[in-house]
Amino acid sequence: MLRPIRSTTSVRALALALAATTFAPAAMATTSEDSPSVTTSAAASTTAASTEIKPPVAAKKPHTYTVHGITIEDPYDWLYDKSYPTVDDKEVLDHLKAENAYFEAKMAGQTALTEALFAEMRGRIKEDDSTVPQKDGDYLYWSEFEEGAQYRKHYRKPVAGGEAELLIDENKLAEGQEYFRLGAASISQNGRYLAYATDTNGSERYTARIKDLTTGEHLPDVIENLRGDLVWVKGDTALVYGPSTEEWRTLEAKLHVIGTPVESDVTLYKEEDQSFGVGTGLSAQEDWLIIATGDNETSEVRLVPANDPTAAPILVKPRKKGVEYGVDVRDGELWVWTNDDHINFRLAKASLKAPGEWQTVIPGSDDFYLTGFDLFKGFFVTEGRLNGLDQIQLRQYADPAKITPITFPEASYTAGLSNNPEYDMSVLRLSYQSMVTPGTVLDYDVKTGGLTTLKTQEIPSGYDASLYVTERVSVQARDGTMVPVSVLIRKDRAEILKKAGIEGPGPLHLYAYGAYGYAIPPGFSTSRLSLVDRGFAYAIAHIRGGDDLGRRWYLQGKMFERMNTFNDFVDAGRGLIAKGYTAEGKVTASGGSAGGELMGAVINQDPSQYGAVVAHVPFVDVVGTMLNAKLPLTPGEWAEWGNPITDKSAFAYMLSYSPYDQVVAKAYPPLMVTAGLNDPRVTYWEPAKWVAKLREVKTDDNLLVLKTNMGAGHGGQSGRWNSLKETAEEFAFILWQMGMAPKSEGE
């Protein structure tokens, strides 16, 4: 559903948007791989139709570099097309195509299983689905999927009554495109104009256009190379946006006056620190433009009157390394969310005349992790986590210490504020789900405390929650830390495994992310039922690096404590084996982006635990990428991983775990790897180089495949069915490698 920019911008969301994460939120009979025998990567493409195709062998070309007195050989550096983001090197493209041909050939025998999985996954999705309409001003807004459609249509209609009005048809915009994604979309406060941005190749460089909703025509204004938000200001006569630099960084907030040339757009703020990113939003009452800049650990915010955006900005507080803060404004008073005196953040207030003098409203707590707040006319809401579980708390301006919690029945769940676009709200829209409870939309009556269920995710093919159970177990990591794990299983799992002829403990799929302070919530997924219904246990490891248990939990998994993340995952799997959920070699695992880095690290550390691993767009060449300041977001990532260019100890520590650099001659589990040619976050050559090196040195005959989406980016293919098909492909690989796939002809 389109969420007009006049909606309150979450302070937490704006702050997180500034953490310009290159690798971030964001998420299966062993066959033997043929022995490598091809000496040029292009040769494999000539036999793509044959299942006897040999795996591509990338050429080795001498390349070394020396950092802090240490020389590193990287013979696969040539896979990095130095003209990136343009990738036109024929040898590079031929190699990627050869890998794709090999992938298709090896997966050909699993086509029937992939189609069966896709059909059952699709059967769980209501094709002609719509969101619950939400009032914003004079209109109700919602979006719909039509049966069979890949993309949404966005609508509105007057609250007073009238016909529905089609705002955007994503399907029409996507016609003729291999890839399509709708980015920022903002309706002007007077309801007349719609500004929206689209990406048609996965590079996340958007093009913005403006539609006059009274005529249905587009204005001539076109803003190219957009990354940030589209914020209406100055009485709906201008837009504030964030352009992308050539290096895919957002260092400016620019003002475009409707009807004027884009070349004459005014820069409201320009960031000089290449490691910072700039984001914009509106205050709760839409009277202030918030211009925030920051990296993964430091913030700085400026305020400008929304009706006079070129006025001199008010600097809230100068940046201080390690101090994060986000702000909102209500009735001329500044509200601040910050970690300046407590690791789990506090909430403070200040006068606009002295914006840097913060007075505590809610102190930081060792127990409660304050993740954000939202201001409304008659009350405000704080969100956070207590013992790892989401909390939504209503508070009164006159007595902020008094809490009215919104409580939920299950022991493990995920919940939060949903779309609440108006400042004067008496009923809050909430979202709720658990690993066994489908996504639910709720309305909470602020006055009575009553909860009304508006919609529960419909599963057309049927779903009986009573067949499943979710558990939250704790596993001890090697340093004594107790790591929580959320597990979903069928109550009749033993019977399912017996019918499948599986003796002893069944397989278990383990998932995690573990970076940037992003918690992986124990939410619902229809697709994972395709594993669980076949006897898998499905587990989410809430490892350090995420902020599942508070800010300290995150900090214990970054920089010089990064190894905790990998150890937690390995130890979580070992702990689940010890508890009888599964057995050695029956753990399958998956992760994407920084979670793909996790996959690379854990198979280097403990390969025998895993029966199959899937690494999506994996950030595996940590050293090479962090040494390359020309790459899109590398400077902004030094606060997360360390700067190996200037810091010898950071370089040495990074080298000790970087999956690509730590590949050695030993047996690895079956491995499926994905990449996106246009991915600006994890560049395509990282997985390509990793796979090439693994092919060269691994001592096993297990299957290793690489699939590169040649017309997509970080998120894989676009469109709900294309994306679902890739999930089916992943699960088919896992089931096949675990000996749980139906026999194909010739086997």
Strands (E) across 624-702 are located at 671-676
Distance in angstroms (rounded) separating the CA atoms of residues 31 and 737 = 7
Structure tokens at 347: 């909430």
CA–CA distance from 197 to each of 243, 247, 595, 695 (Å)?
Answer: 12, 19, 28, 41
Q: How far apart, in whole angstroms, are the C-alpha atoms of residue 744 and residue 216? A: 53
Give the pair of three-digit tokens for residue 200.
């048609």
Residues 6 or more apart in contact with residue 618 via CB below 8 angstroms: 591, 592, 593, 595, 596, 597, 599, 600, 659, 673, 682, 686, 687, 690
Distance CA 228, CA 14 (A): 11
Q: Where are any strands of DSSP class E within 363-450?
A: 368-375, 380-386, 389-395, 403-406, 414-417, 427-433, 440-445
In terms of phi and psi (left: phi > 0; alpha: psi -120 to 50; beta: otherwise), the region of 524 is beta
Angle at 112 (CA atoms; ends 109, 118), nearest 5 degrees: 125
The separation between CA 683 and the C-alpha centre of its own chain, rounded to angstroms, equals 16
| Three-state SS letters, 513-546 | CCCCCCCCCCCCCCCCHHHHCCCCEEEEECCECE
- Write out the catalytic residue numbers: 593, 679, 714
The tokens of 627 are what? Answer: 């040494």
SS3 call for 605:
helix
- What the block records as the tokens of 558 is 């970054």
Spatial distance between the Cα atoms of 193 and 216, rounded to a whole number of angstroms = 10
Find the helix or strand (DSSP H, E) in which 94 lies.
helix 90-107
Per DSSP, the three-state class of 113 is helix
Determine the Cα–Cα distance for residues 166 and 157; give it in Å rounded to an integer.
9
